[in-house]
Amino acid sequence: MLRKVLLLRSVGELTLERLVRFQLLGQEYSFYTGAPENEVTDILDLVKGLVEENITGAAGSIPVGKVAVLVSLNIASRYFELKYKFNEYKVDTEQRIASLTRQIDSGLSSEKGPELS
């Protein structure tokens, strides 16, 4: 169901991108990418898994176009879930840093004692 072929496209000694070809649902697709091999493999594995999850429903086989939409919605849902979690993490981290900075400043001022002029 999912097969990939890699071809490198380079300029001189510097490899810029490579062509990734893969088959999914009986159709061949290709794209150029500079992403690392393990990332491309992870992406294609994710898509394959989501396609397999969505390819059959209670009523039997689902049209390929509908599967593509369902997979896209699933990926978008995961993306926004991670985006919201990251934003929460960022706010929490910024609050912790601010709190630690205040504690450090407070500790440093009490260690100095009153300044002599």
Mean predicted confidence (pLDDT) in 29-38? 90
Percent of the chain surpassing pLDDT 90: 44
CA distances to 76, 85, 86, 93 from 81, rounded to whole Å, are: 9, 6, 9, 18
pLDDT of residue 1: 46
pLDDT of residue 65: 86
> Mean pLDDT for the chain?
83
pLDDT at 102 over 90: yes
Percent helix, strand, coil in the chain, to 5, is 55, 25, 15
Sheet holding 27-33, edge to edge: 3-11, 14-24, 27-33
Cβ(50)–Cβ(26) below 8 Å: no
Task: Give dist(CA 4, CA 23) in Å, integer.
Answer: 7
Mean predicted confidence (pLDDT) in 47-72? 82
Residue 18: band (very low, low, confident or very high) from pLDDT cuts 50, 70, 90: confident
